[in-house]
Each structure stands twice: as structure tokens, then as C-alpha cells.
Amino acid sequence: MPTAHLPTTIAGDEHLLLRGATLIDGTGSTPVTDAELEVRDGRVVYAGPARESTPEGVRLIDLAGRTILPGFIDSHVHFGMSIEDQAADAARFESERTFRAALNARKTLMAGVTTARDLGGLDRGYRDAIAAGLVHGPRTHLAIVPLSPTGGHTDFTMPNGREVPMHMPISPIIDTDDDVRRTVRLLVRSGADVIKVCTTGGVSSPSDTPDDVGVPEEHVRLIVAETAKRAGQPVAAHAQGAEGIKAAIRGGVRSVEHGYGIDDEGIELMLEHGTFLVPTLSSALRVPDPATVPGYLYEKKVKWSTIARERVAAALQAGVKTALGTDSGVCPHGENLREPVHAVELGLSEMDAIVAGTKNAAELLRLDADLGTLEAGKLADFIVIDFDPLADITPLATPDNVKAVVQGGALVKDSESWFGTEPVRPLLAQ
């Protein structure tokens, strides 16, 4: 099976031993109290109970009373988007939008997300800039653009023909078999890690609804077949209404994004096919101020938030495999760990919510050989907090409660100075 692209970040080269914290390793196993986490050359050497001896040449860091978790993975972001800021964004120069996207990426990293999947709006230059250490952000997988037919979710044209300004690097419109093949090949050439299709309309789009079917099942199958000839890029489906969700699953997508109106048949199909659900609860459950969004968007948001609360909860309780993603850009950036809090609200246990945002999300992105859990050989991506998230996960929603963030062994945030060294700065800040 082809391997997934792993964008690296500037890795730390110190030999560290973190001792005394409670370790929640992301596997779902019982937490280890008074644990040790040994890191060398950017990877985990040891993660488990405290050992009797201290490795030679290691720098010891006492984290007694703290909790260590894997760095979270947000499987659904839009760094280049702020849907509640459309009028202001329309007046901005492209250069300013680039800087704002970089700022959104930094906010996301500081919230405790060390890897993210941007599902529309960015070209590979953003991914490469983060990987090169030019700016701070999560290592990033890209869809580049989400695909839909004319009049579908990513046809940003009002009924009167006026385009709503939504900046996409490549035209997202596919109507024919030839459109499908050519656009998928263009996306793969442009560096896409995942292909995103819109098998339904949406809440934020001006000329359709979540109940409308978008990219049909036969085109989903064609996309899956086309990517199989390349690196096997997984297909993610924006799918909100029941019929489009089922079309996506039958067509072979790896993940259903949103899934707000999933019916019982759709749940059974997801369980049968092993399809991931990325429920984007941070967006689904948030109804914006009506003064900040167009009227059509607000009306649909009120309706579909209620539907999502009931139907996504049913899917979670049925055991559908879940990976967390926020849809930030539709909801605020930098509040990403509100997502596991919402998942608990809708029925997951605290541990299952953590696994959904770490181990499961890494598996969805095909990065589980390197990320998602704190085990020997994995990249040293982790966060440090000073509370027990299994007793109360709510504080995770506040970014300031994530006290330290380590990405690939490099310290990028340490608000309490627990590590005794300065966090690594991006190259552009040096």
C-alpha cells in the first residue's frame, strides 16, 4: 500500500527525560501514573512507568502533578478561511490573506494541535513553509480544493450570477467524467494528500442545502479509482444530508465529514465499510451571531445544528469509527480542543474522545506509523497540561490550559517554563 506523505517540521535534537507526570498515551490504555517519557532526536525512545535508572547524558525534566497527552490531530480545518469575516476578507490583498492563514496555523499549534488536515483553500506552499520551519503550525495534509458540481457546495455563485469571494487555488467544479479525471490528476500533481468531494450541499453555500445530492456515487467511485493509480490518496466527503452520506460511503470514501443528518441505514453502512466519521462538532453545534453571516447561512445553521446534535450522537453511540476535526474557519481558529469536549457532550467517554483526536485521526491520515500515540519509535509530538482530562475534559477547550507543546521533539510552547529552555522560534522570527 502506498505510504502517506509525512510533512516534517524542524525537529528537536535534545535527549530529554520527562519524569513524574501521568501519561495518557493515546492508545486507550489505562493512564500511567509517575511515568517517564524519553525523547531523543525528535522521537520517543521510551514511554511507560518510571525506571530505576536514568539514561546517561539525558536532560531530566520534572513534571510531577502534570499530564502528558499526544499532540492532537485536527482532521478538518480551513486555515485560509474565516466565514464570519467574508466582507472584510473580500477587501484584503492576497498577501494579507497569506499572513492571516499563517497566524491561524500558529494559533492551532499553540492550542495543542501538532498535525492538521486542511480540507480546502490552501496550496502546497503553506504546507512546505511550515515543514521548512519558516512559520509555526501543525504539520499539514492538504486537499487544496473541495470538489462539487455546478450549483453544489463549492460553487460560490449566487443565483443572480454574482460570485461570493471564496479563494481557491484550482477550480473546484466537476460535472463530467472528464472533469473528474482531469481535476483529480491536477490536484495530485499539485501535491494533494487527500481528495475532498462534496456529495451533498451545505450550510454555508448560497444555492444548495445539506439535503441536496452533490457529487454522485459514480463520480466518487471514479475518483477513488483514479487515486488508486497514484499514491492512493484517500477521499474525504463533505456529506451532511442522509442520501449524500450513503452515496459517499458506497462510492468508497475513507471519511464522511460532518455527517449531520446521517440516518440508521447510513450508520450501518459506515460500520460495515469501516468508514471514518469526522463530525466537526465545533462547527455543527455553534450557531453564529446572525449579524456576522448571510441570512441563508444563519437559517440553515439553526436547523442543522439541531439535527446534528441528535443524529451525530446516534452515530457515536453506535460505535462508528470517529476522528476529530473542527471545521475551523467555519468556527473560530485556535479553539480546536473544544472538539473533544463536544464529543463527550454527545456521548463519547473522555478517553474515547482523546483517542478519536489522536490515534484514530492518525490512522485516518495514514500517519499512524509515526503519529497519534506516544510509543517507542513514534515522533515526539505531545502536550502537557496541569489537570486530569479523564476527570473533567472541559479545560482542554481553553488554549491557555495547554501549557506546553512539543512537536517532533522541538519545544514550541512552554508557558510555565517547565522545560527550562526557550521554545523554538520560526525562521521568519529570527
* Residue of higher predicted confidence among 4 and 145: 145
Averaged pLDDT for residues 252-264: 98
| pLDDT tens digit sequence for 209-235 | 999 999 999 999 999 999 999 999 999
Please tell me the predicted confidence (pLDDT) of residue 288: 84
Please tell me the predicted confidence (pLDDT) of residue 160: 82
In angstroms, rounded to a whole number, what is the distance separating the alpha carbons of residues 185 and 365? 20
Q: pLDDT confidence of 3, banded at 50, 70, 90?
A: low
Please tell me the predicted confidence (pLDDT) of residue 158: 73
E strand or H helix at 173: none
| pLDDT tens digit sequence for 74-91 | 999 999 988 777 778 878
In angstroms, rounded to a whole number, what is the distance separating the alpha carbons of residues 166 and 326? 19
Please tell me the predicted confidence (pLDDT) of residue 252: 98
* Residue of higher predicted confidence among 23 and 170: 23
| Number of neighbouring beta carbons within 10 Å of residue 319 | 11
Q: Work out the percent of the chain whose per-residue pLDDT is above 90.
A: 83
> Which residues of 204-294 form beta strands (DSSP E)?
235-239, 255-258, 276-278
E strand or H helix at 217: helix 217-228
pLDDT exceeds cutoff 50 at 1: no
Least confident of 72-76, 86-90, 94-98, 378-382: 86-90
E strand or H helix at 406: strand 404-407
| pLDDT tens digit sequence for 12-58 | 778 999 999 999 999 999 999 999 999 999 999 999 999 999 999 99
Please tell me the predicted confidence (pLDDT) of residue 358: 98
Please tell me the predicted confidence (pLDDT) of residue 13: 78
Query: At 39, is the secondary structure helix, strand, or coil?
Result: strand
| pLDDT tens digit sequence for 394-411 | 999 999 999 999 999 999
| pLDDT tens digit sequence for 120-156 | 999 999 999 999 999 999 999 999 999 999 999 998 7
Averaged pLDDT for residues 243-262: 98
CB 195 within 8 A of CB 223: yes
Domains in the chain, CATH or no CATH each? 15-71+371-429 (2.30.40.10), 72-364 (3.20.20.140)
CB 66 within 8 A of CB 418: yes
pLDDT exceeds cutoff 90 at 430: no
Considering only CA atoms, which of 75, 136, 39, 46 is closest in space to residue 367?
A: 75
Please tell me the predicted confidence (pLDDT) of residue 327: 97
CB 406 within 8 A of CB 11: no
